[in-house]
Amino acid sequence: MAKKKIKTYSLDEMLDRHIGEIGTKKRDTFEFELNKEVLSSMIKMAREKRNLTQSQLGELIGVKKSQISKIESGLNNAKIETIIKIFKALKAELNFSIRFDEGAEFSMAS
């Protein structure tokens, strides 16, 4: 009996098929939420690596524990200023890179 060949798909193909192609509203929303989750997880992992509680991190940057909890849970659309303060308090280097369609680029490190 001949073996049936299994079709494989790349992650990009699966995302295009089930979420939508790059540039569609559904895909843009998915990518935004995914990036927010990754950032939240990075903050939590860095805080735990530094053996800080949410309360201690909040004290370092001047916010309440509840705000740190919401940021780590992805429930808070924190200001960029707050994100920068968090990473500075966690002694982490933060880099921003912005590229425009016409080729202009801006980079910043904190």
Question: What is the percent of the chain with per-residue pLDDT over 90, rounded to a whole number?
Answer: 67
Structure tokens at 103: 């080729």
Residue 94 above 80 pLDDT?
yes
Residue 1 above 70 pLDDT?
no
- Does 88 or 100 have the greater pLDDT score? 88
Which sign does the torsion angle of CA 69, 73, 76, 82 carry?
Answer: positive
Residue 108 above 80 pLDDT?
no
Q: In sequence order, which residues have a C-beta less than 8 Å from that of residue 18 and are 6 or more positions away?
A: none
List the beta bridge partners of residue 95. Answer: 109
In this prediction, residue 109 has a pLDDT band, given cuts at 50, 70 and 90, of confident
State the Cα–Cα distance between residues 89 and 43, nearest whole angstrom.
11
State the Cα–Cα distance between residues 87 and 29, nearest whole angstrom.
25
Kindly list the structural domains of the chain, giving each domain's residue range(s) and its CATH number in brackets, ordered by start.
Answer: 11-109 (1.10.260.40)
Residue range 65-87, pLDDT digits in tens: 999 999 999 887 889 899 999 99
Mean pLDDT of the chain: 91
- Can you spell out the DSSP letters for 2-67? PPPPPP---HHHHHHHHT--TTSHHHHHHHHHHHHHHHHHHHHHHHHHTT--HHHHHHHHT--HHH
Residue range 10-33, pLDDT digits in tens: 998 999 999 999 999 999 999 999
